[in-house]
Structure 1
Amino acid sequence: MLALFAVVLAQSAVLLPETIVVESRNEQALADASPSISKVKIGTTTAEGLGTLGGVLQSTPGIYTAPTSGEGSQTSLFIRGTNSSQSALLLDGRKLPQGFLNTYEIERYRTFGLSSAEVLRGASSVLYGANAIGGVIDLRLANPLCETSQGEYALTGGSYGRGSFAFHTVNNNGNETKPATQGNAFSFTSSHEDGWRPNSSLDASTALLKSEWQISPSLTVNLIGSADNSEARLPGAETNPKYNDFQNNQGWLISPGLTYYGDNLRATAFWSHAFSELESYNEFSFGNVHQNYQLRHDEITAFIDQRLNQELNWGLGTSYECSHYQIKVLNLDTASSSPWDGTHESLGVWTYADWKVTAYDRVKFAIRRDEFTDFKGKTTEEVTYARKLKSELTLHAKLATAYRTPAAGELLYGTVGGLPLRPESNTAIEIGLRYHEAKSPTPDWTLVAFQNQLKDLIDVDPSTWEAYNIAKARTRGIEFGIEGRPVNSLRCFGSITYLETEALSTYTTGSGMKVEAGQSLLARPRLNLNVGFEMTWEKNWAWGVSANLLQGRVDYDYNSSVRVDLPDATFIRSWIRYQLSPSYELALRLENLTGESAPPKALGYSAQPRSAYFTFTGRF
């Protein structure tokens, strides 16, 4: 593995295998990765007309993204049935600020200019600490030292007042006679849409930056940066539309780091400083609520990986995090409440050993210990086993634990009885297969069976808003993903996830909803099927179609205080591209071709109606 890093830096002409980083925090061949790893190529999803994080993750096995339909403002992200607050979102390995409730508004992140989105499904706290119960999504930027200087821009317009401009450029000082020693990658996207509901406009902008300096053949310094802003109007429910509600999000991250490459050693260290702010206004029956939340997050992480011999690798790492939360303004019924702020710190240390037992068998052991300023410490473990059944087929099995620390919003009003909260915990087990045959038309595929056993889930007392550890739950299922080119002119892809969820205890949530043991968890579909293809002809034309089938969704109607079954739904989209010249391209994208109206949630509006969008792309 370490030899691969040296080859990348030397910019060898040898064709390298597809690689990923998220599984081990080091570069490795995707063909050798767990079947719980997916790599979404942003260039491919951009060509399909997908430009938001929720959109590009939609067809990934084990993932369901439920778009905002009315009440509330955030797109829900479920990885193997776990909550949005139980997954970590990274930018080139750095944690993005997770907000006041440990959740991310993933629709505010535009993906144009990213290289890929790497997805690690399953318990991952040994490497990534808190909030990795369900998994990790790492947004990877382009590597400016290893790419040819180039640029791209795109203009989009279409239904419901949609318009966007996107720009991406990569440059370095390399040429045909010498490798690059300094490079930059920068992208910017800005969009506006009026929406198809009253008071549902959205403005969003994202800027991304990565700079690298190769100080010596062994040492590289980098700088990662991002800034984003979104202003969303909230339409409320169809039966009770809202005309004044809004939510504004903004954030930024700056992170310098360095990486050392030796013959048998790699060392990485970085510091990141991030800021996130949310301001919202909501009109309720009991009064109007105007809130402003701020979060500042610092992370210092360092780790080393060493090859001791041909059979044994080991690693050691540490991570310090400090989050400062503040309610700058809180107006309830126009009466001000006292400001609230708090600081939470954590320190984690992890180590692992990766042993190649035989030519076919590999075992990995990992353990991590985290200490917190506000909660009891947490130890997480991971054991994985991989066996090469054939040259193209590998069996993987994993047993791991993970946790989520209480969010600032859960500490705002104290805890029931003054008792300290325990971090939410997960004991996860999975077994699966990955098939990859290089230079073959046979599609690559993955198949995984998994189970998450969740305990100490946190909610609040609806009468006092005090938090406590309230519940247990279980999610389990089977996920399958496939992609390949039977012929050069045809790309086929698909995924299917069968998911069972169950509450293992009876409790009442902070919103007053009664949950009985044995009931399924809300919003997650029992069956989530995605299939699609793209074909090219006459070199200049490309046409694609994809379909998403959702079955077995249950939600809660807070107006009538009952659980409701959401209708099954099938959403079909299509796109067509025409290459005017090597530098220019036109594209047409059609969404919801059949006019499917099934709503994403019990409260809100039906799905977005049929719509069309045109895109002009230029490259230089």
Structure 2
Amino acid sequence: MKYLFLLGTALVVSTPALADEAYDPIVVTATREPTPVTQVGQSVSVVTRDEIERTQATTALDVLARLPGVAFTQSGGFGQPASVFIRGADNAQSLVLIDGVPVNDPGDVGGGFDFGSLTIGQFDRVEVVRGSSGVLWGSRAIGGVINFITARPTDQWTGRAQAEYGWRNRRQASASAMGKLGPVGLTLGGNWMKGDGFSAFDERLGGAEKDGFESKSANARAEVALVSGLSADLGGYWTKANYDYDNTGADALNVGLKRDALGYANLRYSGLDNRLNARVGYGLTDTHRISDDAMWGPYETNGRVERFEGQVSFAPVEMASILIGAETEKQKFDNNYGSKDSTSIDSYYGNLTLRPLAGLTLNGGLRYDDNSDFGHKTTFAANGAWVIGSGDEAPVLRASYGEGFKAPSLYQLYTNAGYRALDPETSKGWDVGIEQPFAEGTGRFTLTYFDRKTKNLIDYDFANWNYYNVGRSRAQGLELGMQVANRQGFDVNLAYTYLDATNEDTGAQLARRPKSNFYASLDKSWALGLKLGADLRVGGGRYDDTANTYYLEGHVVVGARASYAVTSNIEVYGRVENLFDEHYEVVRTYGTPGRSAYAGVRVKI
């Protein structure tokens, strides 16, 4: 820890001279409306396409692992089940969006999203909101919201393509194009990845049979202006992954399949000099899962969510605006063992934004949910951001409070050995933090304290083979972040999280939540087209079970990368992951990648 502290201090001290552009991106996930990040009271991280390419990320987990407040586990390699914990919240307690459409799976154990086979090649931007966002985004947004955003159409046709090859015969190719066909703006993209993989059962424990995978995905988006102020957009995303997996503690010839599809359509209106904005939309998510055990045969689940929504925002004066909306959602779930059911939820929400003073933004909102199985619930949220002073290096104070409500999933209710007396999960959380811009406003340093209490957290009882409610749990901690972008050729990223997540009834640590996570990266580019970079990831130890019987030690993983621009349109690159071949586990008896190398080429037109 002494060396990590010295490294972090060196980065903080050395980076004020590393910037040349102002940092105030527009974000949409925190407020459901385009908003400068300095007017957002919640803690938000934004990952751009440039950052994705610079770090040579290939999966969603590669991107999320770099952010403060985020930890993950995966039971093996690509395709294997993977969970993401935002501030210690369960994977199913965070809402995942693709282009603003919820993709949480009602066939998943908790109604969460499995990140194990999500590639990042088709996405232009990732926004992560930490802290409860239940008022604006509803059920499942207790821990936060993750929004994967594809590219918007451009006025002129542009395109990009990428191919790489590496460790254990892993091949990947992706391509996308954006432009206009007459009055219609279009975005089209696709990604393919296949590899021999490594044994999901830890190879150090005797795993010998490689668990391979293949992933295919495609996305499309269209936008058209109908008349002045009125436009329409529609799109979709499809992905299918086949993968091998093992049993706990042994090699096995098991195979799995995941297929996700979503579609959406929106009609939008903007008028009164953009002071009035309205949208009506439809979204559909359809999932299919197969876990084919070599001994017991296949287990299949299907999930489907249909969603209709509408919202209106109006700013009668410059210092005030109001957002109101309504949603209706129906979920369906079935499996090949006869479980089949559905549920629905109707919701209404409103949010008031006030700007009483220069630099001060205040938000307050209410949401009313009517769940067909668990009745009604009203939740409240408030947050504020205050830019103290003026100029590129004015500090920003943030504070937020949010409540959450999440009903048991259909899987938990209807595959629960006949025991359905589960109560909804509820939460109350708050955070307070400061953001200090530096380096002429391009860099930023953030420090945030958070605290969330949850009642009726749903967990699994291995003794009785069913789900039950944990009376009280609590997650509190500290997040530290620092980012500097392209100052004199340098890019720097630092993220540290301290987390104390416990079952307050027993005092035990919540399973698979590390006490601490640290990530640091440094990249340097030269005018001749050469880029060099390295990163360090330090994962803290964690208990693998709710009884805190099995403890997994922490780990230190180092990576190095390089790229060279052959021309203005062609770049070659390569990287070594886990440079020192660290052996570790984040799920007991399941392996993680050893030292591996990859090389590729990117083309842009």
Question: What secondary structure is seen at the aligned counterpart in 2 of 1:308?
Answer: strand
Q: What is the match of residue 537 of structure 1?
A: 526
Q: What is the match of residue 321 of structure 1?
A: 329
Q: Determine if the alignment matches structure 1 residue 489 to structure 2 residue 499.
A: no
| Matches for 1:1-20 after TM superposition, within 5 Å | 18-20=25-27
Question: What secondary structure is seen at the aligned counterpart in 2 of 1:194?
Answer: strand
Question: What secondary structure is seen at the aligned counterpart in 1 of 2:388?
Answer: strand
Shift of 1:33: 2.6
Cα deviation, 1:436-473, whole Å, max 9, x if unaligned, reads 46x82652122210011011112355566454433321
Shift of 1:231: 0.8
Q: Determine if the alignment matches structure 1 residue 240 to structure 2 residue 250.
A: yes
Shift of 1:96: 1.2
| Matches for 1:186-205 after TM superposition, within 5 Å | 186-197=188-199, 198-205=209-216
Cα deviation, 1:165-204, whole Å, max 9, x if unaligned, reads 1011111258xxxxxx421111100100111222411111
Q: Amino acid of the residue matched to residue 574 of structure 2?
A: L
Shift >6 Å, 4+ stretches: none
Cα deviation, 1:337-383, whole Å, max 9, x if unaligned, reads xx121111110000111122223433221000000111122211101
Shift of 1:388: 2.3
What CA distance in whole angstroms lies between the structure 2 residues aligned with 1:603 and 1:571?
A: 19
What CA distance in whole angstroms lies between the structure 2 residues aligned with 1:219 and 1:539?
A: 46
Shift of 1:72: 10
Q: Determine if the alignment matches structure 1 residue 260 to structure 2 residue 296.
A: no
Q: What is the match of residue 568 of structure 1?
A: 554
What CA distance in whole angstroms lies between the structure 2 residues aligned with 1:188 and 1:219?
A: 30
What CA distance in whole angstroms lies between the structure 2 residues aligned with 1:250 and 1:135?
A: 24
Q: What is the match of residue 510 of structure 1?
A: none
Does the Cα contact within 8 Å between 1:299 and 1:319 map onto a contact in 2?
yes
Question: What secondary structure is seen at the aligned counterpart in 1 of 2:375?
Answer: coil
Q: Determine if the alignment matches structure 1 residue 138 to structure 2 residue 137.
A: no
Cα deviation, 1:5-49, whole Å, max 9, x if unaligned, reads xxxxxxxxxx99521100111101123333511101133213322
Shift of 1:527: 1.2
What CA distance in whole angstroms lies between the structure 2 residues aligned with 1:360 and 1:20?
A: 17
- Tell me: higher relative CO, structure 1 or 2? Use CA pairs within 8 A at least 6 residues apart: 2
Q: Amino acid of the residue matched to residue 428 of structure 1?
A: G
Q: What is the match of residue 445 of structure 1?
A: 445
Cα deviation, 1:466-485, whole Å, max 9, x if unaligned, reads 54433321111011111114
Q: What is the match of residue 273 of structure 1?
A: 284
Q: Amino acid of the residue matched to residue 532 of structure 1?
A: S
Moved more, 372-381 or 355-364: 355-364
| Matches for 1:157-196 after TM superposition, within 5 Å | 157-172=165-180, 181-196=183-198
Question: What secondary structure is seen at the aligned counterpart in 1 of 2:317?
Answer: coil
Does the Cα contact within 8 Å between 2:126 and 2:146 map onto a contact in 1?
yes
Structure 2 gaps, min length 5: 1-21, 200-208
Specify whether residues 442 and 261 from structure 1 end up closer, same or farther in structure 2 by C-alpha distance, changes over 3 A only: closer
Q: Determine if the alignment matches structure 1 residue 298 to structure 2 residue 306.
A: yes
Shift of 1:595: 0.7
Cα deviation, 1:303-331, whole Å, max 9, x if unaligned, reads 1111021221111101110111111x23x
The counterpart of 1:597, out of the listed 583, 588, 597, is: 583
Question: What secondary structure is seen at the aligned counterpart in 2 of 1:54?
Answer: helix
Question: What secondary structure is seen at the aligned counterpart in 2 of 1:245?
Answer: strand
Cα deviation, 1:369-408, whole Å, max 9, x if unaligned, reads 0001111222111011332223321111111101222111
Q: What is the match of residue 471 of structure 1?
A: 471
Does the Cα contact within 8 Å between 1:280 and 1:292 map onto a contact in 2?
yes
Specify whether residues 192 and 486 from structure 1 end up closer, same or farther in structure 2 by C-alpha distance, changes over 3 A only: closer
Q: Amino acid of the residue matched to residue 368 of structure 2?
A: R
Shift of 1:253: 0.9
Moved more, 441-450 or 567-576: 441-450
What CA distance in whole angstroms lies between the structure 2 residues aligned with 1:565 and 1:417?
A: 31
Q: What is the match of residue 343 of structure 2?
A: 344
| Matches for 1:98-137 after TM superposition, within 5 Å | 98-100=105-107, 101=109, 102-137=111-146
Q: Determine if the alignment matches structure 1 residue 231 to structure 2 residue 234.
A: no
Cα deviation, 1:569-609, whole Å, max 9, x if unaligned, reads 1111111001111121110111000111011222222x211
Does the Cα contact within 8 Å between 1:399 and 1:429 map onto a contact in 2?
yes
Does the Cα contact within 8 Å between 2:39 and 2:386 map onto a contact in 1?
no
What CA distance in whole angstroms lies between the structure 2 residues aligned with 1:274 and 1:475?
A: 31
Does the Cα contact within 8 Å between 1:71 and 1:236 map onto a contact in 2?
no
What CA distance in whole angstroms lies between the structure 1 residues aligned with 2:461 and 2:48?
A: 43
Cα deviation, 1:222-248, whole Å, max 9, x if unaligned, reads 0120000011110334x4222x21221
Q: What is the match of residue 8 of structure 1?
A: none
Question: What secondary structure is seen at the aligned counterpart in 1 of 2:580?
Answer: coil
Does the Cα contact within 8 Å between 2:470 and 2:503 map onto a contact in 1?
no
Does the Cα contact within 8 Å between 2:511 and 2:548 map onto a contact in 1?
no
Paired residues in the alignment total 568
What CA distance in whole angstroms lies between the structure 2 residues aligned with 1:256 and 1:105?
A: 24
Does the Cα contact within 8 Å between 2:514 and 2:539 map onto a contact in 1?
yes
What CA distance in whole angstroms lies between the structure 2 residues aligned with 1:442 and 1:463?
A: 54
Q: Amino acid of the residue matched to residue 452 of structure 2?
A: N
The counterpart of 2:163, out of the listed 130, 155, 179, is: 155
Q: Amino acid of the residue matched to residue 491 of structure 1?
A: D
TM-score calculated relative to the size of structure 2: 0.89
Cα RMSD (Å):
2.3
Does the Cα contact within 8 Å between 1:112 and 1:168 map onto a contact in 2?
no
Question: What secondary structure is seen at the aligned counterpart in 1 of 2:89?
Answer: coil
Q: What is the match of residue 596 of structure 2?
A: 611
The counterpart of 1:399, out of the listed 394, 401, 418, is: 401
Q: What is the match of residue 335 of structure 1?
A: none
What CA distance in whole angstroms lies between the structure 2 residues aligned with 1:524 and 1:562?
A: 11
Moved more, 339-348 or 459-468: 459-468
Shift of 1:105: 1.7
